[in-house]
Amino acid sequence: MKRITIIILTCLLTTIAAMAQTGLNINRLFDGRYKKASGATEIIVTGVQAREIGLTVYHSLSVTDKNQAELVEGLVVKDGAQAVDKEVEYRNGQLYYGFYTMKKSKRDNRYIFYLNQNLARKSPKNIVTLIYMEGLATQEEIKKLIRK
């Protein structure tokens, strides 16, 4: 009896742990490595505050280091290849702006924004920003959200 219980419990927890992975390449960037890094800003918003802007998860990262920026761009491009919908702009062979709609995670929609301000025509800045959003919000609602 105990053995059956342990086997079932193990299977269940393994399944839950597997489901916790979102399967995106950019997850690598959100492993906490930038929390103590200078030249980086990481924002995590979930729960009540996220719901106030119509999301369940808001996770963003801004980096100024060139090598880190290249890493971010590479991972975004990889995920972008799997996107179900995308709006992208390349400048000088580099990704300047990207808005990707990813495959749903369970019931939630998932979106990735990317911006390399170094490629901006007006007042370029050495900042690359990545935003991951998750929630029931549709593409249009996300666009409205960034217009606010």
Residues of the shown chain interacting with other proteins in the complex, contacts defined by CB under 8 A: 1, 4-5, 8-9, 12-13, 16, 19-20, 34-50, 53, 56-58, 60, 62, 87, 89, 96-97, 99, 106-107, 113, 115, 117, 120-121, 129, 131, 143, 145-148
**Nearest to other proteins of 40, 71 (CB atom):** 40
Maximum alpha-carbon separation in the chain: 69
First-to-final CA distance of the chain: 58
**Nearest to other proteins of 75, 133 (CB atom):** 133
What minimum distance in Å lies between the beta carbon of 69 and other proteins?
14
What minimum distance in Å lies between the beta carbon of 135 and other proteins?
10
Neighbours of 115 (CB within 10 A): 19
Length of the chain: 148
What minimum distance in Å lies between the beta carbon of 7 and other proteins?
10
What's the burial of 67, exposed, middle or buried (CB within 10 Å: 0-12/13-18/19+)? exposed
Q: What is the DSSP string of 93-138?
A: TEEEEEEEEEEEETTEEEEEEEEEGGG-SSS--S-EEEEEEEES--
**Nearest to other proteins of 75, 130 (CB atom):** 130
**Nearest to other proteins of 84, 146 (CB atom):** 146
What minimum distance in Å lies between the beta carbon of 10 and other proteins?
10
